[in-house]
Structure 1
Amino acid sequence: MTDSRPNLRDVSASAQCRRLVERLRIDSINSFEITAELNICRPGARIADLRAAGYVIHTRLADLVDAQGFKHPRVATYTLIAEPSEKVAA
């Protein structure tokens, strides 16, 4: 039986981008979840890397409550719209 979980110990930018793209293909994800689930400390930097590589990613900012019950304003939630090989309708 193989383990399907990503290797969270690899903190190179390329490994983080791979994990993030794989997760974005499943569903939207917010900054808190990216840090907790994918071991990515700077989600915005990885999103910028992916955009520079041609990924189209939508950002929605909203107030979110963290696991400790504290409200945080303008937390980013990211949604993958298109990958570099896809054409996006104007």
Structure 2
Amino acid sequence: MPTCVIKCCKNYTDRKKKRDGITFHRINKENKDWTNRLVDIIRKCRHETDWIPSKSSVICSVHFDANDFYTSKGGRLYLVSNAIPKKV
């Protein structure tokens, strides 16, 4: 069960969290500029200068503002391009 990569965040991917409205979002490594910026923010909040995201690294929706998301036609919640966590 992946947990949110933000230091001190105790949210992890389980059904209860999803029912509570918390969603989990992978780090999109295809967008290099966004990934580098996001990794820098996460490294600072974790106080780990060598932290590298894995394939299972996720950030929970708690760390983003409401306008950082969009809903697909199928009803799934996604991060907008270049969304940066503001609540770390």
TM-score by length of 1: 0.32
Considering only CA atoms, is the larger Rg found in Structure 1 or Structure 2? 1
Q: Give 1 or 2: higher strand fraction.
A: 1
Q: Which has the higher contact order (CA 8 A, sep 6+)?
A: 2
TM-score by length of 2: 0.32
